[in-house]
Structure 1
Amino acid sequence: MNSTDTIKAIALKTISIESKAITNLTNYIDDDFVKSVTTIHQSKGRLVVTGIGKSAIIAQKIVATMNSTGTPSIFLHASEAIHGDLGMIQPDDVVICISKSGNSPEIKVLVPIIQRFGNTLIAMTGNRTSFLAKGANYILDTTVETEACPLNLAPTSSTTAQLVMGDAVAVCLMELNNFKSEDFAKYHPGGALGKKLLLRVSDMIENSLKPMVTPQTPVKQAIFEISEKRLGVTAVVENEKVIGIITDGDIRRMLNERDSFVELTAKDIMTKNPKTIQTSTMVVEALNILEDFSITQLVVLDGEEYKGILHLHDILKEGIV
């Protein structure tokens, strides 16, 4: 077996071991799991997730997922907890403590303190007979047969199982809280994801240029308007209503078909019934329209009032795609 085959074989074995560990979690979705989710859902406080070592890293990820999906959560490092950070735990909080063995020294100090506080303690552990499991109100069982590590030492399968169990709890809470995309957007206002969920057409054209001519405008002047506003298009407006548009493409077709355009007006070369969109529409919907009709701009209306032009390039600049 050459080095390439060896590397591939090791990678495939790792994936196989961890996949089996995840699949085995289905055996542990029991009454304690249901009670854990229900307790968190009904809690008037926050979810505090704690752990040490690699489990602490998993705890931080679970907290991040919970916060972004509507369950207020905080991370508490187990070793810092017993050195002054226990004040983070408030009376109505629910605590999830993550530990594969459930018997680390920090856990043995932390568990009795949480019990004295009176908070509900949920153990996420791979050892149901551990100190942590025995001291908890409920157990989220993340037992794995073996680590993917060839020495069966480095947390690999066990941390993967913890991560997936945390996701299972988070998704259950999302469903119970009827968490929707609009709610998700409130917690993700930045970046491409936030813009997809929040940005409306009105936000895009608020300070944009507004190319406009009348049906009687000479073509030469219409060309100047298109050039000056640099959007590759101008709307043709009559009685405050858009009746057509002139695009760069319309200009090119006119030049190919005619030797002279001195006598022509905007009405003679405009495209009637252009694609329009309302200011209240989400930008991502506007993008879908542009893609569906293979066009690069939309006339923006507020009711029937002309508000401007939304160009594909502007959407791309926002990083939505």
Structure 2
Amino acid sequence: MNDAKSILSIAKRTLEIESKAIFNLIDQLDEQFAHAVQYILESKGRVVVSGVGKSAIVASKIVATLNSTGTPASFMHAADAIHGDLGTIQDDDVVICLSKSGNTPEIKALLPLIKIAKNKLIGVTGNMDSVLAKQADFVLKTYVEKEACPNDLAPTTSTSAQMAIGDALAICLLELRGFSSSDFAKYHPGGSLGKKLYLRVADIVVNNQKPQVDINTSVKEVIVEISEKMLGVTAVINEGKVVGVVTDGDIRRMLSKYDNISGLTAQDIMTSNPKTVDVDTLAVKALKKLQESGISQLLAFENGNYAGVVHIHNLINEGIL
């Protein structure tokens, strides 16, 4: 059995080789990259990304990244393109072809068809003497010294470089388009990521009960209100305005302080100046406020009026935490 030390040594060597290759891409960036970004930005069509083998898998990932960051994109396998899928490419589309060598048979067969259709071609390759590099309108250089594979065969470092240059392309387009977090939310409405981008306090408060008592309410009734509304807190109201809160913690502190609680009211045990949040606040920001304050609940307000309570358990149930 191989020991942990030798296994970790292989893993570290792999990451070192790939990270060095990605870092070296910085020096390979030139005006060709900038022109390619600018052309895509001004294009009326989509970005069609193509490749073969592992490059095709990277192409599919780049398409997903572009689509999720505001640049319409479509994947087309280079082998399928010459067998009927060439119709994927429309008149105004920009085509990106990925190939380490730039000389794979499928890519070489596809290039003349793209040129005949007069679509702009962006080549992503590490071989500047290749057919792809020579026929492309713009070339994004992804030269790597070697693959992480000890036989220098399995696409590892080269595909990492392709992935990184694709991310650089997508982020340039994102920033130049002014693509905001609200735009991002439109493309990611599902899951915890989407909720962090669009879920607001109002969406949570509406599903909770609204605990409240008067300042003169007896402690027994305060405890009943907290228990029935199941949020561990109640707002304390005086003449229609919130003047404090009573939490489970206030109840515990009261019991340790007083032997006789029969004459006590909400005003006697409440915490003044409670932490609050506006209903239009993003739930993730409400969570941050809870964490910074070291508390479990916030009173929510709408147009200056008490609207209810948001509890940290609500945020956990929504997948925000």
TM-score range, shorter chain: over 0.9
Aligned to 2:123: 123
Alignment of 1:49-60 (within 5 A): 49-60=49-60
Structure 1 outlier segments of 4+, above 3 Å: 2-6
Aligned to 1:138: 138
In structure 2, give the amino acid aligned to 1:265: T
- Please state how far the C-alpha of 1:187 moved relative to its aligned partner: 1.6
The 1-side partners of 2:51 and 2:127 are apart by 15
State the number of aligned residues: 320
Aligned to 2:166: 166
The 2-side partners of 1:263 and 1:13 are apart by 73
Task: Kindly provide the CA deviation profile for residues 25-51 of structure 1, in whole angstroms up to 9, marking residues without a partner as x.
Answer: 123211211111111111111111111
Change (3 A) 1:4 1:233: closer
Contact 1:43/1:93 (<8 A) preserved: yes
Is residue 2:121 matched to residue 1:112?
A: no
Aligned to 1:206: 206
Alignment of 1:21-32 (within 5 A): 21-32=21-32
**Alignment RMSD (CA, Å):** 1.5
The 1-side partners of 2:243 and 2:4 are apart by 65
Is residue 2:270 matched to residue 1:270?
A: yes
- In the superposition, the TM-score normalised over structure 2's length comes to 0.95
Aligned to 1:47: 47
The 1-side partners of 2:253 and 2:49 are apart by 65
Task: Kindly provide the CA deviation profile for residues 118-151 of structure 1, in whole angstroms up to 9, marking residues without a partner as x.
Answer: 1101111122222222221111111112112111
- Unaligned segments of structure 1, at least 5 residues: none
- Please state how far the C-alpha of 1:270 moved relative to its aligned partner: 1.6
Task: Kindly provide the CA deviation profile for residues 127-183 of structure 1, in whole angstroms up to 9, marking residues without a partner as x.
Answer: 222222222111111111211211111111111111111111112112211222222
- Please state how far the C-alpha of 1:3 moved relative to its aligned partner: 4.3
Aligned to 2:290: 290
Contact 1:217/1:265 (<8 A) preserved: yes
Aligned to 2:196: 196
Alignment of 1:218-237 (within 5 A): 218-237=218-237
Aligned to 1:88: 88
Is residue 2:259 matched to residue 1:259?
A: yes
- Please state how far the C-alpha of 1:308 moved relative to its aligned partner: 0.7
Aligned to 1:37: 37
Contact 1:45/1:92 (<8 A) preserved: yes
The 1-side partners of 2:14 and 2:250 are apart by 60
- Please state how far the C-alpha of 1:18 moved relative to its aligned partner: 1.8
- Please state how far the C-alpha of 1:236 moved relative to its aligned partner: 1.3
Mean CA deviation greater in 237-246 or 154-163: 237-246
The 2-side partners of 1:215 and 1:91 are apart by 72
Mean CA deviation greater in 216-225 or 45-54: 216-225
Task: Kindly provide the CA deviation profile for residues 289-308 of structure 1, in whole angstroms up to 9, marking residues without a partner as x.
Answer: 11111111111111221111
The 1-side partners of 2:52 and 2:115 are apart by 19
- Please state how far the C-alpha of 1:115 moved relative to its aligned partner: 0.9
Secondary structure, aligned partner of 2:97: strand
The 2-side partners of 1:72 and 1:133 are apart by 24
Task: Kindly provide the CA deviation profile for residues 169-227 of structure 1, in whole angstroms up to 9, marking residues without a partner as x.
Answer: 11211221122222222222222222222111101111211111112222211111111
Secondary structure, aligned partner of 2:209: coil
- Please state how far the C-alpha of 1:257 moved relative to its aligned partner: 2.2
Aligned to 2:61: 61
Aligned to 1:180: 180
Contact 1:241/1:304 (<8 A) preserved: no
The 2-side partners of 1:7 and 1:262 are apart by 69
- In the superposition, the TM-score normalised over structure 1's length comes to 0.95
Secondary structure, aligned partner of 2:148: coil
Contact 1:240/1:306 (<8 A) preserved: no
Change (3 A) 1:269 1:26: closer
Q: Among the aligned pairs, what percent are the same residue?
A: 57
